[in-house]
Amino acid sequence: METLDLAELDIRDVNRRLQGRTGDSDASDFEVLNPLGRHTIAAGINRPINVHIRGHAGYYCAGMNQQAKVTIEGNAGVGVAENMMSGEVRVTGYAGQSAGATGHGGLLVIEGDASGRCGISMKGIDIVVGGSVGSMSAFMAQFGTLVVLGDAGADLGDSIYEARLYVRGSVERLGADCIEKEMRDEHREQLADLLKRAGFDANPDEFRRYGSARQLYNFKVGNIGYY
Amino acid sequence: MDERKILESATFPPHVIAEIQRAASEGLYNIRGSGAKRRVPNFDDLVFLGASMSRYPLEGYREACGTDVVIGSRFAKKPIHLDIPITIAGMSFGALGANAKEALGRAATAMGTSTTTGDGGMTEEERAASQTLVYQYLPSRYGMEPDQLRKADAIEVVVGQGAKPGGGGMLLGLKITRRVAKMRTLPQGIDQRSACRHPDWTGPDDLEIKIRELREITDWEKPIYVKVGATRTKYDTMLAVKAGADAIVLDGMQGGTAATQTCFIEDVGIPTLPAVRQAVDALKEMGMHRKVQLIVSGGIRTGSDVAKALAMGADAVSVGMAALMALNCNAPIYEDDYHALGTKAGSCHHCHTGKCPVGVATQDPELEKRLDPERAAQRVKNYLTTLTLECQTLARACGKSHVHNLEPEDMVALTLEAAAMARVPLAGTEWVPGW
Interface test with A, best of B201, B212, B213, B352 (most A CBs within 10 A): B213
Q: How far apart are CA B140 and CA B142, in angstroms?
A: 5
Average the pLDDT over A204-225 and give the result.
Answer: 87
Q: CA of A60 to nearest chain B CA: how many angstroms apart?
A: 7
- For B75-91, how does the pLDDT look when each residue is reduced to its tens digit (9 = 90+)? 999 999 999 999 999 99
Cα nearest neighbour of A44 on chain B: B217
Nearest-by-Cβ selection for A40 from B172, B199, B209: B209
Q: Give the residue from chain B lying closest to A100, CA to CA.
A: B200
Whether B209 is in a domain gets the answer yes
Q: Which amino acid is at B268?
A: V
Contacts of B210 in chain A (CB under 8 A): 59-60
Q: Let me know if residue B260 belongs to a domain.
A: yes
For residue A58, the chain B residues in CB contact (below 8 A) are 209
Are B432 and B415 a contacting pair, CB within 8 Å?
no
Q: List residues of chain A with CB under 8 Å from any CB of chain B.
A: 11-12, 15-16, 19, 21, 39-40, 43-44, 46, 58-60, 63-64, 66, 78-79, 82-83, 85, 97-98, 101-102, 104, 117, 120-121, 123-124, 139-140, 142-143, 159, 161-162, 217-219, 221
The reply to whether B23 falls in a domain is: no
Beta strands in A88-202 (DSSP E): 88-91, 107-110, 123-129, 143-148, 152-156, 164-167, 171-174, 178-181
Long-range contacts of range A107-110, CB-CB < 8 Å, 24 or more positions apart? A107/A194, A107/A197, A107/A198, A108/A80, A108/A81, A108/A84, A109/A198, A109/A199, A110/A76, A110/A80
Burial group, residue B399, by CB count within 10 angstroms (0-12, 13-18, 19+): middle
**How far is the alpha carbon of B142 from chain A, nearest alpha carbon, in Å?**
8
Q: Which domain holds residue B289?
A: 35-328+371-422
CA distance A166 to A211: 9
Closest to A74 (Cα-Cα) out of A17, A25, A118, A36: A36
Comparing C-alpha atoms, which of B153, B156, B116, B126 is closest to residue B138? B156
Cβ distance of A60 and B27 shorter than 8 Å = no
Instruction: Name which of A6, A16, A218, A220 to mutate to probe chain B: the one with the most chain B Cβ atoms within 10 A of its Cβ.
Output: A218
B184 vs A contacts (CB less than 8 Å): 142
Q: Which of A192-201, A212-221, B406-415 has the lowest mean pLDDT?
A: A212-221
Percentage of chain A lying above the pLDDT 90 cut:
93
Nearest by CB: B144 against A102, A143, A218? A102
- Indicate the residue type of B71: I
How far is Cα A70 from Cα B108, in angstroms, rounded to an integer?
41
- When mean pLDDT is compared across A7-11, A101-105, B30-34, B74-78, the lowest value belongs to B30-34
In chain A the domains, ranked by start, together with CATH numbers, are 2-216 (2.160.20.60)
Angle between helices B233-242 and B272-285 (to 10 degrees): 40
Q: Is residue B232 part of a domain?
A: yes
B193 contacts A120? CB cut-off 8 A: no
Decide if A120 and B200 are in contact by the 8 Å CB cutoff: yes
Question: How many separate domains does chain B show?
Answer: 1
Nearest Cα of chain A lies from the Cα of B59 at a distance, in angstroms, of 51
pLDDT value, residue B285: 98
pLDDT at B407 over 70: yes
Q: Residue A226's pLDDT is what?
A: 65
> Is B352 domain-assigned?
no
Residue B175: list chain A partners with CB under 8 A: none
B193 pLDDT tier (thresholds 50, 70, 90): confident
Please check whether residue B337 lies inside any domain of the structure: no
Exposure class string for B102-131: b at 16+ Cβ within 10 A, else e: bbbbbbbbebebbbbbbbbbbbebbbebbb
Q: Give chain B's length.
A: 435
Q: Are A140 and A160 in contact (CB under 8 A)?
A: yes
* Residue A227 pLDDT: 62
**For B148, which residue in chain A has the nearest alpha carbon?**
A64
B140, B187, B216: residue with CB nearest A43:
B216
- pLDDT of amino acid B24: 96
Residue-level pLDDT at B79 = 98
Residue B361 lies in a domain: no
Reported as a pLDDT band with limits 50, 70 and 90, residue B97 is: very high
The pTM for the full model equals 0.96
Average pLDDT over residues A25-35: 93
DSSP state of B255: -
Dihedral over alpha carbons B252, B248, B434, B164 (to 10 degrees) = 30
For chains A and B, CB pairs below 8 A equal 101
Residue B155 has pLDDT above 70, yes or no: yes
Query: A205 vs chain B: nearest CA distance in angstroms?
Result: 29
**Per-residue confidence at B176, pLDDT binned at 50, 70, 90?**
confident
Q: Contact B201/A97, CB-based, under 8 Å?
A: no
For residues B190 and B180, what is the distance between their CA atoms, to the nearest angstrom? 11
Mean pLDDT confidence for A126-153: 98
Q: In Å, how far is B176's CA from the nearest CA of chain A?
A: 11
Q: Does residue A25 surpass a pLDDT of 80?
A: no
Position A94 scores a pLDDT of: 98
Residues of B with a Cβ under 8 Å from any A Cβ are: 26-28, 140-141, 144-147, 149, 172-173, 184-187, 189-191, 193, 195, 199-201, 206, 209-210, 212-213, 216-220
**DSSP string of B57-118, one letter each residue:** PPPTTTS--B--EEE-TTT-SS-EEESSSEEEPB--BTTB-HHHHHHHHHHHHHHT-EEE-B
Contacts of A212 in chain B (CB under 8 A): none
Inform me whether the pLDDT recorded for B267 exceeds 80. Answer: yes
User: What mean pLDDT, rounded, does chain B reach?
Assistant: 95
User: Is there a contact between B212 and A162 if contact means CB atoms under 8 Å apart?
Assistant: no
pLDDT at A177 > cutoff 70 = yes
Q: What does DSSP assign to residue B203?
A: S
Is residue B341 domain-resident? Answer: no
How far, in Å, are A96, A185, B47 from residue B315 at the CA level?
39, 61, 19
Q: What is the pLDDT of residue A87?
A: 98
CATH classification at residue B114? 3.20.20.70
Residue A224 pLDDT grade (very low, low, confident, very high; cuts 50, 70, 90):
low
If you average pLDDT over residues B191-209, what whole number do you get? 93
Q: What is the mean pLDDT of residues B308-337?
A: 97
The chain A residue lying nearest B172, using CA atoms, is A218
